[in-house]
Amino acid sequence: MPKKIDKEQEIKFVEYYVEGSTEGNASQSAKKAGWDKNYRQMGSYLKKKYAQEIREKNEDRITSTSGKAISVIQDLLHSEQDAVRLNTAKLVLEMGGFSSQNINLNVDKATQKSDAELIEELQGLVNKIPALKPKLAMIQDNTEDESGDTPEKDSTMDENRLTH
């Protein structure tokens, strides 16, 4: 006489296969769900039978945690360690469809350029990418605030130097 199908037991298998200590292991998930005999065969069978449900549950898990994953990546972009920031930035660019073939960063040439050449290159980028202009202005304002070097302070410092 064939064994009666226990739907609840099969649903438990799916839950155990998707999450927990037996995650991704069909044999152990079947054993944990209650199959003592032939749990290896049953695990393989149930994995195929419920492939769509397993996929949907995994997609739901990924969707529900994607916001947290994005937050972690954003935090890593602000890490104090240069290597962490660089690797995170590379990962973000790769996920966005940019690869090393698409992006040509030549850092060595920048050290060989004069200040005038760098300023000219930066102005060219600002003209090509209008969104850079307000960001550059914000950076410049922050730099002036931190250093305290405003044009007014510079002129008074020059006057003080002359009088001494």
Which pLDDT score, from 0 to 100, does residue 114 have? Answer: 81
Confirm if 26 and 35 have CB atoms less than 8 A apart: no
Which pLDDT score, from 0 to 100, does residue 4 have? Answer: 62
Confirm if 17 and 24 have CB atoms less than 8 A apart: yes
Distance CA 22, CA 31 (A): 9
User: pLDDT below 70 — which residues of the chain?
Assistant: 1-5, 99-111, 142-164
The set of residues, in sequence order, having a beta carbon less than 8 Å from that of 50 and lying 6+ positions away, is 10, 13, 14, 17
Q: How is residue 47 written in tokens?
A: 């994995």
> Does this model's pTM top 0.85?
no
What does the domain layout of the chain look like in residue ranges? 7-49, 107-164
Distance CA 144, CA 140 (A): 6
Which pLDDT score, from 0 to 100, does residue 162 have? Answer: 47
Which pLDDT score, from 0 to 100, does residue 99 have? Answer: 64
